[in-house]
Chains A and B, each alone.
Chain A
Amino acid sequence: MEKREYKLLKGNEVIAIAAIRCGCDGYFGYPITPQSEVMETLMELKPWETTGMVVLQAESEVASINMLYGGAATGKKVFTSSSSPGISLMAEGLTYLAGAELPCLIVNVVRGGPGLGTIQPAQSDYFQATKGGGHGDYRLIVLAPASVQEMNDFVDLGFELAFKYRNPVMILSDGMIGQMMEKVELSPEKPRWTNEEIEKKYGSWIVKGKPSTRERHIATSLELDSAKQEKFNQKLVAKYAEVTKNETRYEKIMCDDAEYLIVAYGSSARISQKTIELAREKGIKLGLLRPVTLFPYPSKAIQELTPQLKCVLAVEMSTGQMVEDVRLAVNGKIPVEHYGRVGGMIPSPEEVLNAVENLIERK
């Protein structure tokens, strides 16, 4: 068997490398800490000389996201990366992309807010990522990597989902996953799609120039006829239901005999995993459910676990955002509480264990 090759890479670096290797056509972005290594790595690697991938530093995040619109509509695999304040600027473009049903990938390496906030890691953009961010009834498909390996894997997965459902996909990471290095096995290289392949796969909707044999294609989110717009909104609802049915992903750790459960994603899940180890040493039957997709959210998995549990702790680096989805899933059957550090502070595994023990004591 071929010996697997591992690299030691930062989360941000691997995003760039994975994009080139999976045959991405274009990156458009604007520098912001803590994710600037994504564009820096791309510029260093000069993929336009090898795969032909376009890399462009845009004048703003507003421009970057709209460049994605322009590229995605022609059937190209395009992505951008940014951090919280930059994603706020992209909110407009995101809702237009969702409204025009265009596939693309957005990487958000979250930092603390509100406002300029801090450049340290946070998970305080959960609402923005999963409940909207821009206006109108729409959803992004949101992937939450908890390791550098998943940063690598989710680039390809993100594009796959984006094109499968014609929907923008967001990788919701944070400064911790973005800045840390881990062992990573790179994905096999895939060539970029040729124009013929794009035409064959997505010819029914791409905006590439209208041959006389078909009607013109228009990438738009505008519909002045309310009845038609309502129909379109219902179509989106059906799509999101399909995504929920097919694409909900999560990981369960030590849940079989768990009496207590932590629900945490991304960095918080890594930290909480250590908390599970510490708790088990003390004989506390604590398990971890890690949502891998934040939209669709693994509500059903939490529901199914609820009967065996006494209480649940949602651990996130926010003042309490994802905890609302845990509560909706548990639906009042058992107590659900939140523990989090914010503003760029990262909770320690011991701190989380304390919070678990406090919760157990009180319930």
Chain B
Amino acid sequence: MIKPENLVYSRTKVLTENIMHYCPGCSHGTVHKLIAEVIDEMGIQDKTIGVSPVGCGVFAYNYLDIDWLEAAHGRAPALATAAKRLNPDRYVFTYQGDGDLASIGTAEIMHACNRGENIVVIFINNAIYGMTGGQMAPTTLIGQVTATTPYGRNVELNGYPLKITELIAQLPGTCYVTRQTVYNPVTVRKTKRAIRKAFENSMMKKGTSFVEVVGTCSSGWKLTPVDANQWMIDNMFPEYPLGDMKDI
């Protein structure tokens, strides 16, 4: 038994004790924890409303001990729009994957960002549909093999990877648009700072803050967690370069 005075690390209190359903190596768990830590550190658990997506992140509400809205596929920014406008003293964030945000919910995210809704958007881009079993996402790389691109993503057939974050950065309604990742301690810390800034922005009436996190899906990519990280570094980062695109 560890004596309390020797404890150097413990579960963030905003995380529940539920065991996450995410696969080993998945980035969702890390990002969940970072959001939980930010909420905890800012002391805003009782003032935060999360909007969970359809996709692997759908059960985010089982892991973060806050109030949640579970949205239809792609519609989280619409829910967040009303929740925030009707409750301006609340922190409202959406948590969305690439299928949810960049495919079926393209209209909702573009317009919410363009209206400059004072919300936080956390966008997990792992270039694949995890929950439905590894199908092509709008952000799937050219040549990437998925369940629906068994011979690799083909431009003629499937078009190009959608760089939605670059598009979002063009919208005057956004105040902070950044792309981060969480594969090592340095990037984890950077991502946490980005999330914190986004939450703080949302109370300053500056517009929408948008944090993309490039992540891994070792199950969908059919790689070990370690290989998945390396694959992400080699293939994802050239297509989706990290860093701030906008910070007003």
Contact = CB atoms under 8 A, between A and B. Distances in A.
- Is the pairing of A and B real? yes
Interface of A: 25-26, 28, 54, 56, 58-60, 62-64, 66-71, 73-74, 76, 78, 92-93, 96, 100, 207-212, 216-222
A68 B72 CA distance: 12
A63 B51 CA distance: 15
Given A66-B75, A96-B72, A25 B86 contact: yes
Contacts of A76: 82, 86-87
B69 A219 contact: yes
Contacts of A66: 71-72, 75, 78-79, 108
Interface in B200-233: none
A219 B78 CA distance: 15
B65 to A, nearest CB: 6
Nearest to A207: B67
A78 B86 CA distance: 10
A26 B85 contact: yes
Interface in B160-198: none
B139 interface: no
Interface in B49-78: 49, 51, 58, 61, 65-72, 75, 78
4 nearest A-B residue pairs (beta carbon)? A70-B79, A220-B70, A66-B78, A70-B82
A68 B82 CA distance: 7
B195 to A, nearest CB: 18
B81 to A, nearest CB: 6
15 contacts: A54-B86, A56-B81, A56-B82, A62-B78, A63-B81, A66-B71, A66-B79, A68-B82, A73-B69, A73-B83, A74-B49, A74-B83, A92-B72, A207-B68, A216-B68
Which of A69, A93, A211 neighbours the largest number of chain B CB atoms within 10 Å of its CB? Answer: A69
B66 A216 contact: yes
A66 to B, nearest CB: 4
Given A208-B90, A219-B70, A222-B70, A67 B82 contact: yes
B23 to A, nearest CB: 17
Contacts of A69: 69, 71-72, 75, 78-79, 82
Contacts of B49: 74, 207-209
Given A209-B45, A218-B67, A219-B69, A58 B86 contact: no
Nearest to B61: A218
Nearest to A26: B86
Interface centre among B79, B81, B83 (most CB of A within 10 A): B79
Nearest to A53: B86
Nearest to A67: B82
Contact of B70 (A59, A100, A210): A100
A212 B108 CA distance: 32
Given A216-B61, A222-B70, A74 B86 contact: yes
Interface of B: 44-49, 51, 58, 61, 65-72, 75, 78-83, 85-87, 90, 107-108, 110-111
Nearest to B79: A70
B46 A211 contact: yes
Given A67-B81, A218-B70, A62 B75 contact: yes
Contacts of B81: 56, 63, 67, 70
A67 B86 CA distance: 10
Contacts of A59: 107-108, 110-111
Given A56-B81, A218-B68, A222-B58, 19 more contacts: A26-B82, A54-B82, A58-B78, A60-B107, A66-B71, A66-B75, A69-B69, A69-B71, A70-B79, A70-B81, A71-B86, A73-B69, A96-B72, A210-B65, A212-B46, A216-B68, A217-B68, A220-B70, A221-B70
A296 to B, nearest CB: 27
A73 B72 CA distance: 14
Given A67-B79, A70-B79, A218-B61, A207 B69 contact: yes
Contacts of B47: 209
A70 B67 contact: no
A210 B44 CA distance: 9
Given A59-B111, A210-B66, A28 B82 contact: yes
Contacts of B58: 222
Contacts of B111: 58-59, 63
Given A63-B108, A93-B75, A210-B45, A70 B65 contact: no
Given A28-B82, A219-B70, A222-B58, A70 B51 contact: yes
Given A69-B69, A216-B67, A217-B67, A63 B78 contact: yes
Contacts of A212: 45-46
A216 B65 contact: yes
A208 B89 CA distance: 10
Contacts of A216: 61, 65-68
Contact of A78 (B45, B75, B82): B82
Contacts of B79: 66-67, 69-70, 73
Contacts of B67: 207-210, 216-218
B87 A74 contact: yes
B69 A70 contact: yes
Contacts of B90: 74, 208-209
A217 B58 CA distance: 15
B169 to A, nearest CB: 19
A72 to B, nearest CB: 8
B215 to A, nearest CB: 22
